[in-house]
Structure 1
Amino acid sequence: MSDLGVAEIPVDENERPLPPPAAPAKNALLDGPILRTLLWLTWPNVIALTAGTCVVIAETSYIGRLGVEALAAMALVFPTVILTMTMSGGAMGGGVASAIARALGAGDLDRASTLAAHALLIGLCFGLAFMLGMLIFGPKLLELLGGRGNVLTQAIAYTQIFFGGAVVPWLMNTMSGILRGTGNMKLPSLLMLSSAICQIILGGTLGLGLGPIPQFGMSGVAAGSLIAYLISISVMSWYLFSGRARVVPKLKGLRIQWSMFIDILKVGAIACFSPLQSVLTISIFTHMLASFGTEVLAGYGIGARLEFMLTSISFAVGIASVPMVGMAVGAQRIARARKIAWTAGLVAFASVGTFATFIAIFPDIWVNLFTDDAAVRAASRQYLSTAAPMYAFLGLATAMYFSSQGAAKVIGPVMAQTARLLFIGAGGWWLLTHDATAQSFFMLAAASMVLLGVLSCASVVLTRWGPKQRLPAVSPALS
């Protein structure tokens, strides 16, 4: 200030005015338009998850070339494989992304780097637990699921290879969670896409045999998946530890801090119950429908494939919302965090609902892709016309689940999944005891989707996302 109280303009050595200091760079996840930012983060995930769906279709195709027994073996191991991928990616991976995003939102880069290192330790430990559990108890589990003879033998062969390397998918999805927590959706999605291509090529080559490469059968299919995952891990490791990522895991001289584990596990560990309950719900419902015969069961299966494909859209939206909500919560901008959650829910509800309702009106577009059997077509049309419009509520529930992960308040959506499981179990038992038709079970499935969506929204409304407000201390009255 000059003697006259007027602010002096800074000048350089030639007495020329200096330009004003640059404004601090804005974080798009914290300051950008919500819908546009959400959609920008979502589209890479849509491509990657669509590629994952293509892998399932391709694997089914070339495993079918190995024979009916190989297809049956894959049906036995598929639930455990999907459970592994959803737990490590969507559940624990979401917990990792949430913790890192909240740390970055609070401006604590050092904490985010330390969390990343602890996340890798969690991925390693869970991978080892899955490996030991399936190698020791896997054969007995597959037998309990109905595996017999050569079908059981082939299922065990797949399990020994895939779960012998269970650490690999766990570390891959943990690294993806670290990157997504920083808002980087493109690299994990690009690697998921390239991994899908590698899985199809390597799995087919090793499983069926090509040129000088012998046919390894189900073991080769499993090995192809692990090799593809290892390629993704190599690229992400280079990116993370070369300093190119916003967060570099602090492994050198790492001191274990239990608070870091708790910050991740309070979201990730609880979230793991959601895919577990989802698989259990589908298993119970499938078991109930089996009493109506093969045609009804097959018709439901065709509808369930559409559900799996469309909910991948809501997964893409939900995963994108995790770092946005997490950073907003970390920055104590709770109103913005909630607005992100409702925007993600609306996008998921509308996008899934639009496609599903179209198929419900014109079911043959989907059904004719899978079967020529008249009875199966009739059952599938009946299921889709009843349940498909309600897929929108599944999309809504998925978005609420991931947004709650970002806020580190995931108990509500998990309890909503529990309520759906109990609803299906109790409602299905009542229908079975009253000789209900298959249509009644289809209505039960549709009602359970609405219940899940409504309860998931209610959990977001009723759960406090911000810190608890402390009451001001009351000073003692003067005597």
Structure 2
Amino acid sequence: MFDKGDYDRIGPRNVPNFIGAPDVPERQKTMIPRTTPTAAATLADAGATARASRTRLMLEAPIAPTLGKLAAPNVLAMFVQAAQSIAEAYFASLLGVTALAGLALVFPLVMLTQMLSAGAIGGAISAATARALGASDVDRAATLTLAAWIIAISFAALMAVLVALFGTQFFILLGGGDETVSAATTYALVFFPGCAAIWLCNASLSVIRGTGNMQMPALLLLMISVISIPLSGGFALGWGPLPALGMAGLPLGVIVAFSAGAFVAIGYIILGRTGLSFRGAVRRINLSIFGDILSVGALAAVNTVLTTVTIIMMTGLVGRYGEGALAGYGLGARLEFLMIPVIFGIGAAMTAMVGANIGAGRTDRALRVAWTGSLAAAGIVGSIGLLLAVFPDLWLGMFLDPSNTVALEAGRSYFRLVAPFYAFFGLGLALYFASQGAGRMVWPVISSLSRMGIALVGALLLTTYAGMGVEGIFAAIGCAMLAYGLIITLAIRHSGWR
């Protein structure tokens, strides 16, 4: 400790730089650096405190109320995103049946992008972040964030190149006519070059969810949907000063909205609001960091691709029965896909909670989280399915005039035969999200393979040998959903993620 004598002997220039040294002249004091915290440091400290508190809640608080609190904003945001997809189909219907059929051709690829970026890879990012924080390794969580952005950009570039090279041939393979294929290609050539914005936005939101913060991602997705709906309609139909771009305008509004969302989400993380510090994060990037995401994300992506391939194969089979049948089935398949974001609202919360508890070595609690959330998801989605099985025109009537008899009949047949099995679809998909948090993806992949096999083989048998036509395809889809939910449920019940 310095005293007055020390100061007299060594002089003011050699006094250590701290505020309030005894009898230091005022002029000298002004030359001594002050150590008051910056605004950025204060934000980072507040973010770290909030992040630690959220992790503790996921590990210790009662499961059902905590899961409900985390899932509620996600579910609300997903319903609004579903409204965005509904609005897009409505705008396409205003452009004509050909545009609606073209949207049915490209829609599986669009949903593949959303499911991969937010669900498969996004869920793996969220799970890896949650496991790192559950193990109290904050530095690893920050490094995983950088890896997540690199992975997102790489996947977006790959998808854009593949669609540019093979998109038109793919739409032809699905059975679309010249005008329908042209509409689908027009949409794709705008959407996929811009999908980097979707990938970066969803990767960033997945990191934020992994810290236990569900409110901010939900609010941002609400903002994106609120922006994209009028922009998509405006660019497609020429509202106000916006040009009438037709089919190309539908995806343009979505890309613009997600670009704004990506900017906000990345800024939120970089400014320290998640409590993650990136000092030294670049040096810590290695193969194990990427492996932590991709070891789960790759299998999850396989599961997502299988789900999408199932829809694509069914679209190809339905396409043989004409444009009207394709338009009707496209509306049914769109609602099926819209159940995925609704389940994701609960599944994202499950992924974070399960991941945090697995990271902390609390497997029994992680399993209780999984069953609680999965049964809730099955109940919500199953109720929607039963309602539309009885009253299919509640959905179809929003897009089709009574004069579109072929499309209406196809859509009604779809809901009568498929919608009663939505509960099993919801149960299986929710357990898929829980399995991401646990880092155990083998059984979700097996259940998706089974679903695809049953749907394809069943559809071929029922249409070829039973003469059921398009209704045979729909019956096979329903049976495949039943198998999907039962297989993953029984597997996790028996193995307990051991």
Q: What interval of TM-score do these two structures reach, taking the shorter chain for normalisation?
A: 0.7 to 0.9
Shift of 1:100: 0.5
Instruction: Write out per-residue CA displacement over residues 147-180 of structure 1, whole angstroms, 9 at most, x where no aligned residue.
Output: 6655544544433332222321111111011111
Structure 1 residue aligned with 2:228 = 199
Q: Are the aligned partners of 1:329 and 1:465 in contact in 2 as well (CA < 8 Å)? A: no
TM-score normalised to structure 2 length = 0.81
1:406 aligns with 2:437: yes
173-182 vs 372-381, which moves further: 372-381
Structure 1 residue aligned with 2:453 = 422
142-151 vs 172-181, which moves further: 142-151
More helix by share: 2
Q: Secondary structure at the match of 2:283?
A: coil
- Residue 264 of structure 2, aligned match among 235, 245, 250: 235
Q: Are the aligned partners of 2:175 and 2:319 in contact in 1 as well (CA < 8 Å)? A: no
CA distance in 2, matches of 1:66, 1:240: 40
**Residues 158-177 of structure 1 aligned to structure 2 (within 5 Å):** 158-177=187-206
Shift of 1:388: 2.3
Shift of 1:397: 0.3
CA distance in 2, matches of 1:381, 1:134: 32
Shift of 1:48: 1.5
119-128 vs 454-463, which moves further: 454-463
263-272 vs 321-330, which moves further: 263-272
Q: Are the aligned partners of 1:413 and 1:459 in contact in 2 as well (CA < 8 Å)? A: no
CA distance in 2, matches of 1:272, 1:189: 23
Structure 2 residue aligned with 1:351 = 380
CA distance in 2, matches of 1:158, 1:295: 20
Q: Check 1:361–1:43 CA distance in 2 against 1; reply closer, same or farther (3 A cut).
A: same
Shift of 1:120: 1.1
1:456 aligns with 2:485: no
Equivalent AA in structure 2 for residue 456 of structure 1: I
- Residue 47 of structure 1, aligned match among 76, 80, 95: 76
Q: Check 1:427–1:145 CA distance in 2 against 1; reply closer, same or farther (3 A cut).
A: closer
Equivalent AA in structure 2 for residue 276 of structure 1: V
Instruction: Write out per-residue CA displacement over residues 428-465 of structure 1, whole angstroms, 9 at most, x where no aligned residue.
Output: 22223323425554443322111101111133234463
Q: Are the aligned partners of 2:173 and 2:316 in contact in 1 as well (CA < 8 Å)? A: no
Shift of 1:223: 2.6
1:445 aligns with 2:445: no
Structure 2 residue aligned with 1:432 = 463
Structure 2 residue aligned with 1:3 = none
CA distance in 1, matches of 2:310, 2:115: 15
Structure 2 residue aligned with 1:113 = 142
- Residue 280 of structure 1, aligned match among 295, 309, 323: 309
127-136 vs 434-443, which moves further: 434-443
Equivalent AA in structure 2 for residue 119 of structure 1: A
Shift of 1:270: 1.2
Shift of 1:385: 3.9
Structure 2 residue aligned with 1:100 = 129
Q: Check 1:175–1:447 CA distance in 2 against 1; reply closer, same or farther (3 A cut).
A: same
Q: Secondary structure at the match of 1:27?
A: helix
Shift of 1:328: 0.4
Shift of 1:130: 1.6
CA distance in 2, matches of 1:68, 1:294: 8
Q: Are the aligned partners of 1:208 and 1:215 in contact in 2 as well (CA < 8 Å)? A: yes
Equivalent AA in structure 1 for residue 480 of structure 2: S
Shift of 1:102: 0.6
323-332 vs 25-34, which moves further: 25-34
**Residues 186-265 of structure 1 aligned to structure 2 (within 5 Å):** 186-249=215-278, 253-265=282-294
CA distance in 1, matches of 2:294, 2:202: 15
Q: How many residues align?
A: 443
CA distance in 2, matches of 1:357, 1:447: 15
Instruction: Write out per-residue CA displacement over residues 99-142 of structure 1, whole angstroms, 9 at most, x where no aligned residue.
Output: 00111111111111111111111111112212222233334434
Structure 2 residue aligned with 1:16 = none
1:327 aligns with 2:356: yes
Structure 1 residue aligned with 2:28 = none
Q: Are the aligned partners of 1:274 and 1:417 in contact in 2 as well (CA < 8 Å)? A: yes
Equivalent AA in structure 1 for residue 439 of structure 2: A
Q: Check 1:220–1:134 CA distance in 2 against 1; reply closer, same or farther (3 A cut).
A: same
Q: Are the aligned partners of 2:116 and 2:304 in contact in 1 as well (CA < 8 Å)? A: yes
Structure 1 residue aligned with 2:422 = 391
Instruction: Write out per-residue CA displacement over residues 253-280 of structure 1, whole angstroms, 9 at most, x where no aligned residue.
Output: 4343100111100111111122221122
Shift of 1:65: 3.9
Equivalent AA in structure 1 for residue 445 of structure 2: V
CA distance in 1, matches of 2:180, 2:251: 16
CA distance in 2, matches of 1:151, 1:370: 17
Q: Secondary structure at the match of 1:215?
A: coil
Q: Secondary structure at the match of 2:431?
A: helix
CA distance in 2, matches of 1:401, 1:55: 25
Q: Check 1:136–1:107 CA distance in 2 against 1; reply closer, same or farther (3 A cut).
A: same
Computed over aligned residues only, the root mean square deviation of the Cα atoms, in angstroms, reads 2.7
Q: Check 1:334–1:429 CA distance in 2 against 1; reply closer, same or farther (3 A cut).
A: same
CA distance in 2, matches of 1:115, 1:244: 16
Structure 2 residue aligned with 1:9 = none
Q: Are the aligned partners of 1:127 and 1:166 in contact in 2 as well (CA < 8 Å)? A: yes
- Residue 85 of structure 1, aligned match among 114, 118, 138: 114
Q: Check 1:71–1:426 CA distance in 2 against 1; reply closer, same or farther (3 A cut).
A: closer
CA distance in 2, matches of 1:325, 1:129: 31
Instruction: Write out per-residue CA displacement over residues 52-77 of structure 1, whole angstroms, 9 at most, x where no aligned residue.
Output: 22112222233344455444443332
**Residues 369-384 of structure 1 aligned to structure 2 (within 5 Å):** 369-371=398-400, 372=402, 380-384=411-415
